[in-house]
Amino acid sequence: MSAAELRALRAELEALRLTVASQGERISELEAKTETGAEGSDHFSLVSSLPEEALASEGLVSSTDRQGRERLAKECGQFLKRAVRGVFRGCSGREKLKLANRIYVVLVNFEGQRLPGPKVTENFAEVKEICKRGSSAGASVFLGFPTLWEARIAVEEAGYTWPLSR
């Protein structure tokens, strides 16, 4: 496979990831509206969803569990704090919530240099510019979140001030 073909496949894969992420978020929003009895939810019904017990037994957090999501955001903030300090990183915990990333927080660039403050963006292309060289993330520290409020909790838990422009 040529380098050009490989680049084309990577670009197509990234486009597909973004499409799946977008669709996942829309599905989650519709599920939340249905589960909370939002207006218009009588026009469709949720065919299946993992029961809360099944989610908990697998260590997952439900998209409708506000307290669980707050705890998870704090856990992610602790991960960011450890990662910036260079302490063994382990898992961020973000994998416990099966929602697409829509907000990204960058604290350290590819070369391992701390940013003056957290970079918060909705554009993964910006994250790639700062944190990626090909498929490598180098020494960067960044994490994605489904919502702005979860990102803010994590940033503050990591000991940073939330960017005023947000």
Per-residue model confidence as pLDDT tens digits over 125-150 = 999 999 999 999 999 999 999 999 99
CA distance 110 to 14: 19
- Residue-wise pLDDT for 78-106, tens only, equals 999 999 998 877 889 899 989 999 999 99
pLDDT band at 38 (very low <50, low <70, confident <90, very high): very low
CA distance 26 to 7: 29
CB-based contacts of 116-122 (< 8 A; 24+ apart in sequence): 117/160, 117/161, 117/163, 118/155, 118/160, 118/162, 118/163, 119/163, 120/151, 120/155, 120/162, 120/163, 120/166
The mean per-residue pLDDT over the stretch 48-77 comes to 77
The more confident residue out of 98 and 7 is: 98
SS3 content of the chain, % helix, strand, coil (to 5): 50, 15, 35
Confidence (pLDDT) at 33? 65
